[in-house]
Amino acid sequence: MLKVWFAIPFWQRVLGAFAAGMLIGGLAPEVGVALKPLGDLFIKAIKMLVAPLIFCAIVSAITDLNDGKKLGRLGVKTIGLFMFTAVIASAIGLTLATVIDISPETVLTPTEQNEKTIPSVSEVFLNFVPDNPFAALTEGNVLQIVVFAALVGIAIQRLSQKAEPLRKTIKSGAEVMYEITRMVLQLTPVGVFGLMSWVIGEYGFATLLPLAKFVGVIYLACLIHIVVVYGGLVRTAGGMSVREFFKAVFDAQIVAFTTCSSFGSLPAAHRAVTERLKVSKDYASFVLPLGATINMDGCGGIYPAVASIFIAQLYGIPLEWMDYGLIMLTATLASVGTAGVPGTALVMLTVTLNVIGLPLEGIAFIAAIDRIIDMARTLTNVTGDMMVSRVVARSENLLQDDSTVKTES
């Protein structure tokens, strides 16, 4: 029985649970409401992951950069450009989600919501530094965890061999957390089924109407980011026309869009970057795997921004200007922290919702259509990897000569 269940593709299991939850909630509202504990279990399991996962993943990511080129100017430029485009991606997502009305007609009441207080700018920056890092971990203060983890990672780098045992321990801890994350993500169909049964049983089908607009805003934001931001950077700093760039990377984009996997797209992206964008193979072998792990413009920039506003409107929770700033900051910093984590978009959204105090139950509304959204997210991420490879390679004279590259038409 279990073999049959796990033989079904994950996204189909989640979509089936979504449909089953709606059916149960619509036909038997009392039963649907009674199934809510299944969703609560899923939410608690996600919350359990956040603090140790972010700490171990960030420390591991920083210490992994301690190899030759990665510590030099090349690494700084590459990572800097990744983070720069992540900020722009968040801004685009926030702008479109604010300008385009994606608010639902029905407003839900969260079962758990933190009371919102608006701190001053100085308080926000002071709150980055934890008084007690262990308290930050136990309380799930994500931004403080990110700062402390970054300091630990930098210290391990500077101590080199003296801190090698700790580096290996935290690296192993990160792998353990990745495996636990995979295990918890298997509960997604159960959580979606329980939460959707409860939502439909309690509020009816009217709550699902905004999903079409939500998907539309995600795709529009990704399109604008790819064409305007990536195209503009390639044109101004990459020494290529926009048309020439997109023609060169089209095959890799198709692979990314259909597989929904940045790592699965690496062979196609490497071929496009080296043979058509004329980037040296050494640099391409560095930038593309790095980008597949920390370049999260789709997963960590656009998606959490739009989803946060959607969930806030779904529950009738107003967002202040400080919340918008926190969304952008969290997405940029945590994109490195979730590098290589299974279910990156879900983890990123969970982190963002935690930081600005929004209810995690809202994740159930968009989990079932995640496959559709993931196609646009992955396309954005992979296109960004290839754009950065061209721009940085040109600035560092790492482009191959025409005589050494067989360019395909």
Compute φ and ψ for 261, nearest 5 degrees. -140, 120
- What is the fold of 2-404? Proton glutamate symport protein (1.10.3860)
Question: Can you give the C-alpha Rg of the chain in angstroms?
Answer: 22
- pLDDT value of residue 109: 58
Q: What proportion of the chain, given as a percentage, has pLDDT over 70?
A: 84
What mean pLDDT comes out for the span 170-193? 85
CA-to-CA distance for 58 and 330, rounded, in angstroms?
A: 13
- pLDDT value of residue 237: 93
373, 366 Cβ separation under 8 angstroms: yes
- pLDDT value of residue 115: 46
- pLDDT value of residue 112: 52
- pLDDT value of residue 384: 95
For residue 150, is pLDDT > 50? yes
- pLDDT value of residue 248: 92
- pLDDT value of residue 400: 80
Q: Per-residue pLDDT tens for 19-42?
A: 898 899 889 999 989 998 998 888
- pLDDT value of residue 106: 56
What mean pLDDT comes out for the span 185-199? 84
Q: Determine the 3-state secondary structure of 267 from DSSP.
A: helix
What mean pLDDT comes out for the span 74-86? 87
**Between 117 and 400, whose confidence is greater?**
400
CA-to-CA distance for 292 and 298, rounded, in angstroms?
A: 12
- pLDDT value of residue 295: 83
- pLDDT value of residue 208: 61
Angle between helices 36-64 and 142-159 (to 10 degrees): 30
- pLDDT value of residue 73: 77
Q: pLDDT band at 403, cuts 50/70/90?
A: very low
**Between 141 and 376, whose confidence is greater?**
376
Compute φ and ψ for 283, nearest 5 degrees. -70, -40
For residue 113, is pLDDT > 70? no
Q: Collect all residues with Cβ–Cβ distance below 8 Å to 327 and sequence separation of at least 6.
A: 90, 94, 304, 305, 308, 352, 355, 356
Q: pLDDT band at 120, cuts 50/70/90?
A: low
- pLDDT value of residue 232: 96
Report the candidate in 97, 117, 140, 99 with the shortest Cα–Cα distance to residue 320: 117
Report the candidate in 267, 235, 231 with the shortest Cα–Cα distance to residue 252: 267
- pLDDT value of residue 409: 37
Compute the mean pLDDT over every residue in the chain, rounded to the nearest whole number: 81
- pLDDT value of residue 246: 95
For tokens 């299974």, the residue is 342
CA-to-CA distance for 87 and 238, rounded, in angstroms?
A: 20
- pLDDT value of residue 111: 53
CA-to-CA distance for 248 and 110, rounded, in angstroms?
A: 47
For residue 233, is pLDDT > 90? yes
CA-to-CA distance for 144 and 136, rounded, in angstroms?
A: 6
What mean pLDDT comes out for the span 368-386? 86
Q: Collect all residues with Cβ–Cβ distance below 8 Å to 268 and sequence separation of at least 6.
A: 251, 252, 255, 256
What mean pLDDT comes out for the span 239-246? 93
For the whole model, what pTM was predicted?
0.70
- pLDDT value of residue 338: 52
> Can you give the residue ranges of every domain in the chain?
2-404
- pLDDT value of residue 72: 66
- pLDDT value of residue 406: 43
222, 74 Cβ separation under 8 angstroms: no
Query: In whole angstroms, how far apart are CA 144 and each of 63, 204, 355, 395?
Result: 19, 39, 10, 35
362, 114 Cβ separation under 8 angstroms: no
- pLDDT value of residue 383: 95
Dmax over CA atoms of the chain, in Å, equals 72
For residue 45, is pLDDT > 90? no
SS percent in the chain: helix, strand, coil, step 5: 80, 0, 20
CA-to-CA distance for 247 and 87, rounded, in angstroms?
A: 26
Q: Per-residue pLDDT tens for 249-282?
A: 998 898 888 777 777 788 788 889 988 999 988 7
Q: Per-residue pLDDT tens for 321-362?
A: 888 888 888 877 666 555 445 456 777 788 788 888 888 878
